């Protein structure tokens, strides 16, 4: 590569480092779990999206192993050429039944599902109205479509209405509202009842990305819309969080939507089919999750206990009911220092700072998990208190 080109890249890296924004990855030497082996020791993990503790569940390992033995390793094809196994259609049907939609379509990841969704459905005469804090993959998916784009301030319903009106005034043929079900940096739920009412008032379709809710929010864990008693027209989600934690994404919705996506969605047409082991484990995850009221109760019990403990210790938390519980530290260096001290004390958490959250809003995002015990949480609370004092976060 030309030296000047590489020099510019090195300068960018140095800038990231100087601002305290450089992310370093820790190497895990055990299965993903509430306690993991890192750097030769065991630490309590409070930053995985392993909400129901299924990431290393024996039933999923077994389903994946059996599927690999029976159906082989890879499909070596996109779905439409020769990559569709019966398992794919079973999982798509099961997801649609679970989510209460007519059908669903699998992708390699929800990032791809969100990248796939907008471009085939919306043309230049249409409009998409999107929450400002939507996940990067929604933002990128919207960038790829030709619809006119309107953005509303996070969960600001009067701004949403203003943007819908602007879309209407702009002559939009069809309007789609796009929102995360849960804003994952904050753990806030979208105001879906109000959003649905505005969607109906303006004749708009409602798309909800429910990655941080499917499997554990609402009845049978059917997600944020079910939790709030609202119908979403189109749902996107992941198998990489509560539903097993490996990978895979999907879009669920009305039959014509899914049919058109199968014809036109570029990440579907030009990217490989999910392997049988992953798909079979996804089906096993749904079997477990549909019957996992005990795990959901434990998850929310843990979240309440953890939140109350951190709050009593004097930490600045964001309010909420979700098992994402962010500890606000504001400054990126401080978030890094706190995470580093916590690691020394046997707690694995990650500092979040720009660009994943706005500058000045650095935090440690803790996430609860149904498999964490009271002993784990008490140990983690003691470590947080200690680290808070050691780093000057607590006085
Ligand atoms: C995690 C996440 C994604 C990406 O899901 P993957 O399957 O990991 O690609 C998309 N949207 C939201 C809201 C997420 O939290």
**Which residues, other chains included, contact 4 with Cβ-Cβ below 8 Å and sequence gap of 6+?**
none
Tell me the Cα Rg of the chain. 22
- Which tokens is 34 given? 């509430």
Tens digits of pLDDT across the chain (395 residues): 999 999 999 999 999 999 878 888 999 999 999 999 999 999 999 999 999 999 999 999 999 999 999 999 999 999 999 999 999 999 999 999 999 999 999 999 999 999 999 999 999 999 999 999 999 999 999 999 999 999 999 999 999 999 999 999 999 999 999 999 999 999 999 999 999 999 999 999 999 999 999 999 999 999 999 999 999 999 999 999 999 999 999 999 999 999 999 999 999 999 999 999 999 999 999 999 999 999 999 999 999 999 999 999 999 999 999 999 999 999 989 999 999 999 999 999 999 988 888 989 999 999 999 999 999 999 999 999 999 999 999 98
Max Cα–Cα distance, the chain, nearest Å: 63
* C-alpha 13 – ligand 1 centre gap (Å): 26
- Token pair recorded at residue 301: 């019990």
For ligand 1, the distance from its centroid to the CA atom of residue 392, given in whole angstroms, is 34
For residue 180, the ligand 1 atom closest to its alpha carbon is: 13
Verdict on whether the full-model pTM lies above 0.85: yes
How far away, in angstroms, is 333 Cα from ligand 1 center? 26
Distance from the Cα of residue 157 to its chain's centroid: 23
Cβ atoms 75, 276 nearer than 8 A: yes
Report which of 205, 202, 284 is spatially closest to residue 243, judged by C-alpha positions. 284
49, 53, 320 from 182: Cα distances, Å: 13, 19, 11
| Pocket of ligand 1 contains residue 322 by CB under 6 Å | no
Pairing label, strands 148-152, 127-131: parallel
With beta carbons less than 8 A apart as the criterion, state whether 253 and 233 touch: yes
β-bridge partners, 324: 367
Using most ligand atoms within 8 A of CB, pick from 180, 211, 250, 282 the residue to mutate for ligand 1: 211
221 alpha carbon to ligand 1 midpoint, in Å? 17
Q: Which residue has the tokens 């995360």?
A: 180
Residues 6+ apart with CB under 8 A from 77: 83, 272, 273
| Nearest-10 Cα torsion for 189, 193, 194, 195 | 70
Write out the E strands in the chain.
Answer: 35-38, 41-45, 103-107, 127-131, 148-152, 175-180, 182-183, 188-189, 205-209, 234-238, 249-253, 324-330, 347-348, 351-352, 362-367
Residues near 313 by beta carbon (within 8 Å), at least 6 away in sequence = 381, 384, 385, 388, 394
Q: Which among 95, 106, 137 is the best mutation to test ligand 1's pocket, defined by most ligand atoms within 8 Å of the CB?
A: 137
Q: Residue 361 catalytic? A: no
Query: What number does the ligand 1 atom closest to the CA of 212 have?
Result: 15
Which residue in 241, 271, 322, 350 is the catalytic one?
241
CA-based angle 143:149:154, to the nearest 5?
95
């Amino acid at each position: 590569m030309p030296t000047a080109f590489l020099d510019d890249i090195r300068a960018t890296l140095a800038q990231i480092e100087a601002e305290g924004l450089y992310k370093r990855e820790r190497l895990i030497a055990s299965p993903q779990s509430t306690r993991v082996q890192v750097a030769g020791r065991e630490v309590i993990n409070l930053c995985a999206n392993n909400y129901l503790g299924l990431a290393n569940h024996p039933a999923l390992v077994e389903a994946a192993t059996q599927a690999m033995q029976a159906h082989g390793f890879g499909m070596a094809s996109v779905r439409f050429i020769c990559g569709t196994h019966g398992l794919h259609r079973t999982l798509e049907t099961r997801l649609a039944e679970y989510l209460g939609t007519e059908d669903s379509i699998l992708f390699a990841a929800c990032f791809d599902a969100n990248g796939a969704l907008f471009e085939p459905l919306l043309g230049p005469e249409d409009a998409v109205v999107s929450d400002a804090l939507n996940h990067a993959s929604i933002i990128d998916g919207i960038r790829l479509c030709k619809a006119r784009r309107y953005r509303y301030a996070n969960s600001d319903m009067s701004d949403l209405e203003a943007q819908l009106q602007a879309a209407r005034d702009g002559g939009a043929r069809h309007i789609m509202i796009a929102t995360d079900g849960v804003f994952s940096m904050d753990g806030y739920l979208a105001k879906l009842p109000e959003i649905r009412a505005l969607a109906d008032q303006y004749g708009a379709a409602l798309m909800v990305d429910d990655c941080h809710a499917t499997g554990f929010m609402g009845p049978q864990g059917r997600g944020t819309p079910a939790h709030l008693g609202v119908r979403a027209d189109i749902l996107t989600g992941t198998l990489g969080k509560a539903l097993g934690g490996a990978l895979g994404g999907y879009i669920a919705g009305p039959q014509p939507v899914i049919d058109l996506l199968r014809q036109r969605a570029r990440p579907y047409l030009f990217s490989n089919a999910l392997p049988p082991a992953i798909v079979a484990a996804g089906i096993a995850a749904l079997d477990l999750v549909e019957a996992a009221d005990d795990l959901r109760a434990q998850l929310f019990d843990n979240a309440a206990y953890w939140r109350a403990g951190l709050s009593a210790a004097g930490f600045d938390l964001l309010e909420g009911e979700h098992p994402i519980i962010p500890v606000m530290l504001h400054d990126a260096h401080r978030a890094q220092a706190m995470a580093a001290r916590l690691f020394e004390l046997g707690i694995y958490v990650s500092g979040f700072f720009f660009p994943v959250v706005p500058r000045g809003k650095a935090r440690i995002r803790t996430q609860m998990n149904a498999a964490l015990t009271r002993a784990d949480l008490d140990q983690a609370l003691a470590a947080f208190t200690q680290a808070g004092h050691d780093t000057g976060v607590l006085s």
